[in-house]
Amino acid sequence: MRAAFASRIDDADPLSALTVGERPEPEPAGDDWVTVEVRASSLNHHDLWSLRGVGLTEKQLPMILGCDAAGVAPDGREVVVYPVVPTPSDPRGVTILSEHHQGTLAERVAVPAANLIAKPAALSFADVACLPTAWLTAYRMLTSRGRVAETDAVLVQGAGGGVATAAVVLAVAMGKRVYATSRDPGKRERIAALGATALEPGARLPERVGVVIETVGAATFDHSLKCAGFGARIVVSGATAGHLPQVNLRRVFAMSLEILGTSMGTPDELSALLEFLASTGVRPVVDSVFGFSEVDAAFAKLASGTVFGKIILDHTR
Ligand SMILES: NC(=O)c1ccc[n+]([C@@H]2O[C@H](COP(=O)([O-])OP(=O)(O)OC[C@H]3O[C@@H](n4cnc5c(N)ncnc54)[C@H](OP(=O)(O)O)[C@@H]3O)[C@@H](O)[C@H]2O)c1
Protein backbone atom coordinates (compact mmCIF):
# COMPACT_ATOMS: atom_id res chain seq x y z
CA MET A 1 0.00 0.00 0.00
CA ARG A 2 1.01 3.65 -0.48
CA ALA A 3 2.65 5.21 2.60
CA ALA A 4 4.92 8.00 3.81
CA PHE A 5 7.64 6.64 6.06
CA ALA A 6 10.96 7.35 7.74
CA SER A 7 13.53 5.33 5.82
CA ARG A 8 16.44 6.71 7.84
CA ILE A 9 17.13 9.25 10.57
CA ASP A 10 18.53 12.68 9.71
CA ASP A 11 18.68 15.29 12.46
CA ALA A 12 20.16 17.97 10.18
CA ASP A 13 17.93 17.41 7.14
CA PRO A 14 14.78 15.57 8.29
CA LEU A 15 12.94 15.97 4.98
CA SER A 16 15.63 13.93 3.21
CA ALA A 17 14.79 10.99 5.50
CA LEU A 18 11.17 10.92 4.32
CA THR A 19 10.27 8.32 1.69
CA VAL A 20 6.94 8.00 -0.12
CA GLY A 21 6.35 4.57 -1.60
CA GLU A 22 5.00 1.08 -1.11
CA ARG A 23 4.88 -0.60 2.32
CA PRO A 24 3.34 -3.96 3.33
CA GLU A 25 -0.26 -4.02 4.58
CA PRO A 26 -0.47 -3.17 8.32
CA GLU A 27 -0.29 -6.13 10.67
CA PRO A 28 -2.77 -6.21 13.56
CA ALA A 29 -0.74 -6.72 16.78
CA GLY A 30 -3.52 -8.71 18.48
CA ASP A 31 -6.93 -10.36 18.03
CA ASP A 32 -8.63 -7.19 19.24
CA TRP A 33 -7.00 -5.05 16.50
CA VAL A 34 -8.76 -3.79 13.38
CA THR A 35 -7.63 -2.14 10.16
CA VAL A 36 -9.01 1.27 9.26
CA GLU A 37 -9.22 2.65 5.69
CA VAL A 38 -7.71 6.10 6.16
CA ARG A 39 -9.67 8.94 4.49
CA ALA A 40 -7.79 11.89 6.03
CA SER A 41 -4.79 12.43 8.26
CA SER A 42 -2.95 15.47 9.55
CA LEU A 43 0.70 16.28 10.10
CA ASN A 44 2.22 17.12 13.45
CA HIS A 45 5.58 18.43 14.53
CA HIS A 46 5.95 14.91 15.97
CA ASP A 47 6.47 13.65 12.39
CA LEU A 48 9.47 15.96 11.96
CA TRP A 49 10.87 14.92 15.34
CA SER A 50 10.58 11.27 14.22
CA LEU A 51 12.59 11.96 11.04
CA ARG A 52 15.19 13.65 13.24
CA GLY A 53 15.42 10.58 15.48
CA VAL A 54 13.52 11.87 18.50
CA GLY A 55 11.57 8.89 19.87
CA LEU A 56 12.61 6.71 16.93
CA THR A 57 15.78 4.67 16.45
CA GLU A 58 17.43 3.23 13.32
CA LYS A 59 16.48 -0.31 14.31
CA GLN A 60 12.74 0.56 14.20
CA LEU A 61 12.95 1.68 10.55
CA PRO A 62 11.22 1.79 8.18
CA MET A 63 8.43 3.40 10.20
CA ILE A 64 5.25 4.79 8.64
CA LEU A 65 4.79 8.29 10.06
CA GLY A 66 1.62 9.94 11.28
CA CYS A 67 -0.31 10.04 14.56
CA ASP A 68 -3.69 11.26 13.32
CA ALA A 69 -6.27 9.52 11.15
CA ALA A 70 -9.95 9.49 10.36
CA GLY A 71 -11.49 6.82 8.18
CA VAL A 72 -13.76 3.84 7.84
CA ALA A 73 -13.73 0.79 10.15
CA PRO A 74 -14.20 -2.77 8.79
CA ASP A 75 -17.87 -2.65 9.85
CA GLY A 76 -18.41 0.53 7.79
CA ARG A 77 -18.48 2.96 10.74
CA GLU A 78 -16.92 6.39 10.18
CA VAL A 79 -14.33 6.77 12.93
CA VAL A 80 -11.52 8.84 14.30
CA VAL A 81 -8.48 6.95 15.61
CA TYR A 82 -7.26 7.57 19.17
CA PRO A 83 -3.49 7.33 18.64
CA VAL A 84 -2.19 6.24 22.07
CA VAL A 85 -1.69 2.46 21.98
CA PRO A 86 -0.85 0.11 24.87
CA THR A 87 2.79 -0.95 24.45
CA PRO A 88 4.09 -3.09 27.34
CA SER A 89 7.71 -2.88 26.09
CA ASP A 90 7.75 0.92 26.49
CA PRO A 91 8.55 2.42 29.94
CA ARG A 92 5.40 4.60 29.63
CA GLY A 93 3.28 1.48 28.94
CA VAL A 94 1.91 3.23 25.86
CA THR A 95 3.24 4.72 22.63
CA ILE A 96 1.78 7.07 20.05
CA LEU A 97 1.19 5.63 16.57
CA SER A 98 4.42 5.87 14.51
CA GLU A 99 6.63 5.42 17.60
CA HIS A 100 6.33 1.64 18.00
CA HIS A 101 3.35 0.68 15.84
CA GLN A 102 3.16 1.81 12.20
CA GLY A 103 1.52 5.23 11.75
CA THR A 104 -1.38 6.76 9.90
CA LEU A 105 0.21 8.25 6.75
CA ALA A 106 -0.86 5.28 4.65
CA GLU A 107 -3.86 3.81 2.90
CA ARG A 108 -4.63 1.70 5.97
CA VAL A 109 -3.62 1.62 9.65
CA ALA A 110 -4.05 -1.16 12.23
CA VAL A 111 -5.09 -0.20 15.78
CA PRO A 112 -6.86 -1.78 18.75
CA ALA A 113 -10.63 -1.74 18.17
CA ALA A 114 -10.94 0.11 21.49
CA ASN A 115 -9.06 3.05 19.92
CA LEU A 116 -11.88 3.80 17.45
CA ILE A 117 -14.24 6.65 18.31
CA ALA A 118 -17.33 7.38 16.23
CA LYS A 119 -17.06 10.45 14.00
CA PRO A 120 -19.90 12.87 14.69
CA ALA A 121 -21.94 13.38 11.51
CA ALA A 122 -21.53 17.15 11.80
CA LEU A 123 -17.76 16.90 11.41
CA SER A 124 -15.87 15.99 8.21
CA PHE A 125 -13.06 13.44 7.96
CA ALA A 126 -10.67 16.39 7.49
CA ASP A 127 -12.00 18.13 10.63
CA VAL A 128 -11.63 15.11 12.89
CA ALA A 129 -8.22 14.19 11.45
CA CYS A 130 -6.90 17.38 13.09
CA LEU A 131 -8.00 16.40 16.57
CA PRO A 132 -6.31 13.28 18.01
CA THR A 133 -2.88 14.84 18.67
CA ALA A 134 -2.70 18.65 18.48
CA TRP A 135 -6.29 19.48 19.43
CA LEU A 136 -6.55 16.77 22.08
CA THR A 137 -3.29 17.99 23.63
CA ALA A 138 -4.53 21.59 23.65
CA TYR A 139 -7.90 20.56 25.11
CA ARG A 140 -6.26 18.64 27.96
CA MET A 141 -3.76 21.46 28.56
CA LEU A 142 -6.65 23.87 29.08
CA THR A 143 -9.07 21.62 30.94
CA SER A 144 -7.85 18.83 33.22
CA ARG A 145 -4.25 20.12 33.46
CA GLY A 146 -4.69 23.90 33.28
CA ARG A 147 -8.05 24.02 35.16
CA VAL A 148 -9.06 26.87 32.87
CA ALA A 149 -12.47 27.11 34.54
CA GLU A 150 -10.69 28.77 37.51
CA THR A 151 -9.43 31.74 35.46
CA ASP A 152 -10.61 34.36 32.98
CA ALA A 153 -7.31 34.88 31.15
CA VAL A 154 -5.03 32.57 29.16
CA LEU A 155 -1.69 33.12 27.39
CA VAL A 156 -0.74 30.95 24.39
CA GLN A 157 2.91 31.09 23.26
CA GLY A 158 4.02 30.58 19.63
CA ALA A 159 0.44 30.82 18.55
CA GLY A 160 0.79 29.83 14.90
CA GLY A 161 1.31 26.12 15.57
CA GLY A 162 -1.19 23.27 15.47
CA VAL A 163 -1.46 22.91 19.25
CA ALA A 164 -1.33 26.65 19.83
CA THR A 165 -4.04 27.63 17.32
CA ALA A 166 -6.21 24.92 18.87
CA ALA A 167 -5.63 26.35 22.34
CA VAL A 168 -6.52 29.85 21.13
CA VAL A 169 -9.75 28.77 19.45
CA LEU A 170 -10.83 26.51 22.32
CA ALA A 171 -10.06 29.10 25.02
CA VAL A 172 -11.94 31.82 23.09
CA ALA A 173 -14.91 29.43 22.70
CA MET A 174 -14.78 28.80 26.46
CA GLY A 175 -15.27 32.55 26.98
CA LYS A 176 -11.74 33.39 28.16
CA ARG A 177 -9.65 36.49 27.47
CA VAL A 178 -6.87 35.06 25.34
CA TYR A 179 -3.43 36.56 24.73
CA ALA A 180 -1.24 34.94 22.12
CA THR A 181 2.32 35.60 21.00
CA SER A 182 3.79 34.90 17.58
CA ARG A 183 7.07 35.89 15.93
CA ASP A 184 5.32 36.59 12.67
CA PRO A 185 3.23 39.75 12.02
CA GLY A 186 1.03 37.90 9.50
CA LYS A 187 0.28 35.16 12.03
CA ARG A 188 -0.48 37.80 14.67
CA GLU A 189 -3.11 39.27 12.35
CA ARG A 190 -4.68 35.85 11.89
CA ILE A 191 -4.59 35.13 15.63
CA ALA A 192 -6.39 38.41 16.29
CA ALA A 193 -9.06 37.36 13.78
CA LEU A 194 -9.62 34.26 15.94
CA GLY A 195 -10.55 36.48 18.89
CA ALA A 196 -7.25 36.67 20.79
CA THR A 197 -5.12 39.69 21.65
CA ALA A 198 -2.04 39.10 19.50
CA LEU A 199 1.36 40.18 20.82
CA GLU A 200 5.01 40.06 19.85
CA PRO A 201 7.04 37.47 21.80
CA GLY A 202 8.05 38.90 25.18
CA ALA A 203 5.50 41.75 25.10
CA ARG A 204 4.00 42.99 28.37
CA LEU A 205 0.41 41.80 28.92
CA PRO A 206 -2.25 44.14 30.34
CA GLU A 207 -2.90 41.56 33.09
CA ARG A 208 -1.41 38.38 34.51
CA VAL A 209 -3.05 35.15 33.38
CA GLY A 210 -4.21 32.00 35.17
CA VAL A 211 -3.11 29.51 32.50
CA VAL A 212 -0.14 29.59 30.11
CA ILE A 213 -0.02 27.20 27.16
CA GLU A 214 3.64 26.41 26.46
CA THR A 215 4.82 24.44 23.42
CA VAL A 216 7.76 26.69 22.46
CA GLY A 217 10.08 26.20 25.45
CA ALA A 218 13.43 27.97 25.77
CA ALA A 219 12.51 30.98 23.62
CA THR A 220 9.38 31.89 25.60
CA PHE A 221 9.54 30.23 29.02
CA ASP A 222 10.85 33.25 30.96
CA HIS A 223 8.03 35.34 29.49
CA SER A 224 5.55 32.63 30.51
CA LEU A 225 6.81 32.86 34.11
CA LYS A 226 6.53 36.66 34.12
CA CYS A 227 2.97 36.63 32.74
CA ALA A 228 1.67 34.01 35.20
CA GLY A 229 -0.51 35.33 38.01
CA PHE A 230 -0.50 34.07 41.60
CA GLY A 231 -1.25 30.32 41.60
CA ALA A 232 -1.24 30.12 37.79
CA ARG A 233 -0.63 26.92 35.84
CA ILE A 234 2.07 26.87 33.13
CA VAL A 235 1.20 23.78 31.11
CA VAL A 236 3.99 22.36 28.94
CA SER A 237 3.48 19.84 26.13
CA GLY A 238 6.39 20.65 23.85
CA ALA A 239 9.62 22.57 23.48
CA THR A 240 9.99 23.32 19.78
CA ALA A 241 12.62 26.01 20.45
CA GLY A 242 14.61 24.03 23.05
CA HIS A 243 13.90 22.12 26.24
CA LEU A 244 16.48 23.64 28.58
CA PRO A 245 15.22 27.12 29.50
CA GLN A 246 16.52 28.96 32.56
CA VAL A 247 13.78 28.88 35.18
CA ASN A 248 13.58 31.65 37.79
CA LEU A 249 12.65 29.51 40.78
CA ARG A 250 12.08 32.56 42.98
CA ARG A 251 9.14 33.45 40.76
CA VAL A 252 7.88 29.85 40.90
CA PHE A 253 7.64 29.77 44.69
CA ALA A 254 6.82 33.44 45.33
CA MET A 255 3.89 33.29 42.89
CA SER A 256 2.89 29.72 43.88
CA LEU A 257 3.11 28.66 40.25
CA GLU A 258 2.39 25.17 38.99
CA ILE A 259 4.49 23.94 36.05
CA LEU A 260 2.66 20.95 34.63
CA GLY A 261 3.78 18.57 31.93
CA THR A 262 1.28 16.78 29.74
CA SER A 263 1.16 14.53 26.73
CA MET A 264 -1.83 13.85 24.47
CA GLY A 265 -5.08 13.09 26.40
CA THR A 266 -7.43 10.27 27.30
CA PRO A 267 -10.05 8.64 25.02
CA ASP A 268 -12.75 10.27 27.16
CA GLU A 269 -11.13 13.66 26.59
CA LEU A 270 -11.09 13.03 22.83
CA SER A 271 -14.80 12.14 22.97
CA ALA A 272 -15.47 15.31 25.00
CA LEU A 273 -13.53 17.36 22.44
CA LEU A 274 -15.55 15.89 19.56
CA GLU A 275 -18.75 16.72 21.43
CA PHE A 276 -17.47 20.25 22.15
CA LEU A 277 -16.86 20.87 18.45
CA ALA A 278 -20.13 19.29 17.35
CA SER A 279 -22.17 21.34 19.83
CA THR A 280 -20.39 24.71 19.57
CA GLY A 281 -19.69 24.86 15.84
CA VAL A 282 -15.97 25.39 16.55
CA ARG A 283 -13.82 23.87 13.78
CA PRO A 284 -10.08 23.25 13.51
CA VAL A 285 -7.89 25.99 12.06
CA VAL A 286 -6.65 24.57 8.77
CA ASP A 287 -3.45 25.88 7.19
CA SER A 288 -3.78 23.80 4.03
CA VAL A 289 -5.09 20.56 2.55
CA PHE A 290 -2.78 18.44 0.39
CA GLY A 291 -3.62 15.32 -1.58
CA PHE A 292 -1.71 12.30 -0.30
CA SER A 293 0.24 12.34 -3.57
CA GLU A 294 1.61 15.74 -2.46
CA VAL A 295 2.84 14.52 0.92
CA ASP A 296 6.40 15.74 0.24
CA ALA A 297 5.14 19.29 -0.26
CA ALA A 298 3.02 19.01 2.89
CA PHE A 299 6.09 18.07 4.96
CA ALA A 300 8.10 20.89 3.40
CA LYS A 301 5.36 23.33 4.44
CA LEU A 302 5.39 22.00 8.01
CA ALA A 303 9.18 22.22 8.22
CA SER A 304 9.17 25.79 6.86
CA GLY A 305 7.70 27.10 10.13
CA THR A 306 5.20 29.22 8.19
CA VAL A 307 2.23 27.04 9.14
CA PHE A 308 -0.87 28.59 10.69
CA GLY A 309 -2.98 25.75 12.08
CA LYS A 310 -3.13 22.21 10.77
CA ILE A 311 -1.90 20.61 7.55
CA ILE A 312 -4.36 17.97 6.35
CA LEU A 313 -3.71 15.10 3.94
CA ASP A 314 -6.67 13.97 1.85
CA HIS A 315 -6.04 10.24 1.31
CA THR A 316 -8.60 10.01 -1.50
CA ARG A 317 -6.35 11.90 -3.91
N1 LIG B 1 3.25 16.16 24.34
C2 LIG B 1 2.30 16.01 23.41
O3 LIG B 1 1.39 15.22 23.56
C4 LIG B 1 2.37 16.86 22.20
C5 LIG B 1 1.32 16.87 21.30
C6 LIG B 1 1.38 17.73 20.21
C7 LIG B 1 2.51 18.52 20.05
N8 LIG B 1 3.54 18.44 20.92
C9 LIG B 1 4.75 19.29 20.76
O10 LIG B 1 4.34 20.65 20.79
C11 LIG B 1 5.12 21.42 19.87
C12 LIG B 1 4.20 22.11 18.87
O13 LIG B 1 3.62 21.10 18.06
P14 LIG B 1 2.78 21.51 16.78
O15 LIG B 1 2.42 20.25 16.07
O16 LIG B 1 1.72 22.49 17.19
O17 LIG B 1 3.93 22.26 15.93
P18 LIG B 1 3.83 23.29 14.73
O19 LIG B 1 2.46 23.27 14.16
O20 LIG B 1 5.00 23.03 13.84
O21 LIG B 1 4.04 24.72 15.47
C22 LIG B 1 5.22 25.10 16.10
C23 LIG B 1 5.04 26.56 16.61
O24 LIG B 1 6.11 26.84 17.55
C25 LIG B 1 6.48 28.18 17.46
N26 LIG B 1 7.95 28.26 17.40
C27 LIG B 1 8.80 27.44 16.78
N28 LIG B 1 10.08 27.83 16.98
C29 LIG B 1 10.02 28.91 17.73
C30 LIG B 1 11.00 29.79 18.26
N31 LIG B 1 12.31 29.62 18.04
N32 LIG B 1 10.57 30.82 18.97
C33 LIG B 1 9.25 31.02 19.18
N34 LIG B 1 8.29 30.20 18.72
C35 LIG B 1 8.67 29.17 18.00
C36 LIG B 1 5.92 28.75 16.18
O37 LIG B 1 5.07 29.78 16.53
P38 LIG B 1 5.10 31.21 15.80
O39 LIG B 1 5.66 31.00 14.42
O40 LIG B 1 3.68 31.64 15.82
O41 LIG B 1 5.97 32.11 16.63
C42 LIG B 1 5.19 27.59 15.52
O43 LIG B 1 3.96 27.99 15.01
C44 LIG B 1 6.10 20.43 19.20
O45 LIG B 1 7.35 20.51 19.86
C46 LIG B 1 5.44 19.08 19.43
O47 LIG B 1 6.38 18.04 19.45
C48 LIG B 1 3.49 17.65 21.99
pLDDT at 167: 98
The pLDDT value recorded for residue 248 is 97
What does the pLDDT read at residue 257? 98
- pLDDT at residue 73, as a whole number: 98
Confidence of residue 110 (pLDDT cuts 50, 70, 90): very high
Q: What is the mean pLDDT of residues 179-208?
A: 97
Contact predicate 179/209, CB 8 Å: yes
* pLDDT band, very low/low/confident/very high, at 194 (cuts 50, 70, 90): very high
Q: Are 32 and 17 in contact (CB under 8 A)?
A: no
The C-alpha R_g of the chain, in whole angstroms, comes to 19
CA of 215 to the centre of ligand 1 (A): 5
Which CATH fold would you assign to the domain 133-261? Answer: Quinone Oxidoreductase; Chain A, domain 1 (3.90.180)
Average pLDDT over residues 45-65: 96
pLDDT in tens, 149-178: 999 999 999 988 889 999 999 999 999 999
Query: How many angstroms is it from 87 CA to the middle of ligand 1?
Result: 26
Atom of ligand 1 nearest to the CA of 219: 32
3-class SS letters over the chain: CEEEEECCCCCCCHHHHEEEEECCCCCCCCCCEEEEEEEEEECCHHHHHHHCCCCCCHHHCCEECCCEEEEECCCCCEEEECCEEECCCCCCCEEECCCCCCCCCECEEEEEHHHEEECCCCCCHHHHHCHHHHHHHHHHHHHHHCCHHHCCEEEECCCCCHHHHHHHHHHHHCCCEEEEECCCHHHHHHHHHCCCEEECCCCCCCCCEEEEEECCCCCCHHHHHHHEEEEEEEEECCCCCCCCCCCCHHHHHHCCCEEEECCCCCHHHHHHHHHHHHHHCCCCCEEEEEEHHHHHHHHHHHHHCCCCCEEEEECCC
Mean pLDDT of the chain, nearest integer: 97
Distance from the CA of 101 to the center of ligand 1, in angstroms? 24
Confidence band of 61 (pLDDT split at 50, 70, 90): very high
Q: Tens digit of pLDDT for each residue in 221-275?
A: 999 999 999 999 999 999 999 999 999 999 999 999 999 999 999 999 999 999 9
Looking at residue 168, what is its pLDDT? Answer: 98
5-44: pLDDT as tens digits: 999 999 999 999 999 999 999 999 999 999 999 999 999 9
Q: Is 46 in the pocket of ligand 1 (CB under 6 A)?
A: yes
Distance CA 219, CA 183 (A): 11
Q: Work out whether the CA dihedral 289, 293, 297, 301 comes out positive or negative.
A: positive
137 lines ligand 1 (CB under 6 A): yes
Q: How confident is the model at residue 137 (pLDDT cuts 50, 70, 90)?
A: very high
- Where exactly are the structural domains of the chain? 2-130+284-314, 133-261
Q: What is the pLDDT of residue 29?
A: 93
Does the Cβ of 187 fall within 6 Å of ligand 1?
yes
Q: Is residue 57 very low, low, confident or very high in pLDDT (cuts 50, 70, 90)?
A: very high
Class of 2-130+284-314 per CATH? alpha beta
Q: What is the pLDDT of residue 25?
A: 97
Ligand 1 touching residue 196 (CB < 6 A): no
**What was the pLDDT predicted at 147?**
98
